[in-house]
Chain A
């Protein structure tokens, strides 16, 4: 009788173990789901990084293309020269849509003040305020292109996400015959 009573009061009861297991399990379920969340977030980041790299590469190629060969228009998806547009499948297996929108900033205006070099008082090494003519502007048409590239992809097979950047391309050879 004495032994039986001692066993009852000592150590951990089955009920305690069951309650402890229940609490531990309910704490571990969200932790386990967090692991999955971490994995998904890493994949999502990887897709975004590849998209940004594609965006950067496309615009840098556009900066090196001959000015006259860059197409003008909205949502251009046709590849030209070394610039890859349209649907691109990367080595990592992701699909991206790359589109270019380009337009002339026309006219582009540059302001300046010329110097009246024919004035008798004019000294080339120290031009005075009175040597400068009033403000003038130079207007150039079809010499500067605004280039916007958008890279879009699908997240969770339904939600479309995109990144975009812009730059300008100037025609330095407009006077070249």
Chain B
């Protein structure tokens, strides 16, 4: 009987130690969650950087199409007809439309023109797709694909 009583003595310390350990484990988990969430709440900077960059590259792509629409038209037709795809590749080669940079953040991008049903020297309709991938310093990637459809109608000279 005395042996049993001796065993009961000190139980409060054991219970409190167990509880304290459980609280500390929960606290550590809480701390880890907060640290991992840092800067990732609701709005992702990388996604916005990718989106804005894609908008800007789309503007450059539209400028090129506005300045030199004819070569795109014939290059696309030549490719679709199975004649040659070199001129279309050449049209997509520009560094401002397909390239990469490291500052102020790391990103790479690719632009694609697609000809929609069009009639040269009458009306031209194209779809511009810009794919941007922004890489955060910790290696997380954000990809954005922006598509714009442009319709061009030939204006009479007079």
Q: Is B116 an interface residue (CB 8 A)?
A: no
Given contacts A110-B94, A112-B90, contact A24 B83 (CB under 8 A): no
Docked Cα-Cα span, A163 to B70, in Å, equals 41
Within B48-81, which residues are at the interface with A (CB < 8 Å)?
48-49, 52-53, 55-57, 59-60, 62-64, 66-68, 70-72, 74-75, 77-78, 81
In contact, A23 and B96 (Cβ under 8 angstroms): no
Q: Binding site of A, secondary structure by majority: helix, strand, loop or mixed? A: mixed
In contact, A59 and B52 (Cβ under 8 angstroms): yes
Q: Is A19 an interface residue (CB 8 A)?
A: yes
Given contacts A38-B30, A53-B43, A110-B67, contact A27 B23 (CB under 8 A): yes
In contact, B71 and A114 (Cβ under 8 angstroms): yes
In contact, A38 and B34 (Cβ under 8 angstroms): yes
Q: Within 8 Å CB of A30, what residues of B?
A: 24, 27
Which residue of B45, B60, B70 contacts A52 across the interface (Cβ within 8 Å)? B45
In contact, B67 and A48 (Cβ under 8 angstroms): no
In contact, B75 and A113 (Cβ under 8 angstroms): yes
Which residue of B52, B68, B96, B120 contacts A108 across the interface (Cβ within 8 Å)? B96
In contact, A138 and B48 (Cβ under 8 angstroms): no
In contact, A55 and B48 (Cβ under 8 angstroms): yes
Docked Cα-Cα span, A42 to B39, in Å, equals 10
Residue of B nearest to A124 (CB): B120
Per-residue interface assignment for chain A, residues 109 to 128, with 1 indicating a CB less than 8 Å from any chain B CB and 0 otherwise: 11111110000000011111
In contact, B13 and A23 (Cβ under 8 angstroms): yes
Residue of B nearest to A164 (CB): B104
B interface bracket (residues with beta carbon within 8 Å of A): 35 or more
- What number of residue pairs across chains A and B have CB atoms under 8 A from each other? 180
In contact, B91 and A37 (Cβ under 8 angstroms): no
Looking at the assembled complex, report how far the CB atom of A63 sits from the nearest CB atom of chain B, in whole angstroms.
Answer: 6
Which residue of B5, B72, B87 contacts A9 across the interface (Cβ within 8 Å)? B5
Q: Is A97 an interface residue (CB 8 A)?
A: no
In contact, B87 and A113 (Cβ under 8 angstroms): yes
In contact, A166 and B31 (Cβ under 8 angstroms): no
In contact, B77 and A170 (Cβ under 8 angstroms): no
Which residue of A124, A131, A166 contacts B104 across the interface (Cβ within 8 Å)? A166
Docked Cα-Cα span, A175 to B39, in Å, equals 45
Which residue of A20, A49, A144 contacts B41 across the interface (Cβ within 8 Å)? A49
Within A117-176, which residues are at the interface with B (CB < 8 Å)?
124-129, 131-132, 135, 138, 140, 143-144, 147-148, 150, 163-172
Given contacts A28-B23, A125-B77, contact A167 B55 (CB under 8 A): yes
Looking at the assembled complex, report how far the CB atom of B48 sits from the nearest CB atom of chain A, in whole angstroms.
Answer: 5
Q: Is B2 an interface residue (CB 8 A)?
A: yes
Docked Cα-Cα span, A171 to B63, in Å, equals 7
Within B1-38, which residues are at the interface with A (CB < 8 Å)?
2, 5-6, 9-13, 15-17, 19-21, 23-24, 27, 30-31, 34, 37-38
Q: Could you jot down 16 A-B contacts, CB within 8 Å?
A: A16-B9, A16-B10, A16-B12, A27-B20, A30-B24, A56-B48, A112-B71, A113-B86, A124-B120, A126-B78, A127-B83, A138-B68, A144-B63, A163-B45, A167-B55, A167-B56
Name the 3 nearest CB pairs between A and B, nearest first. Answer: A168-B56, A167-B56, A27-B20
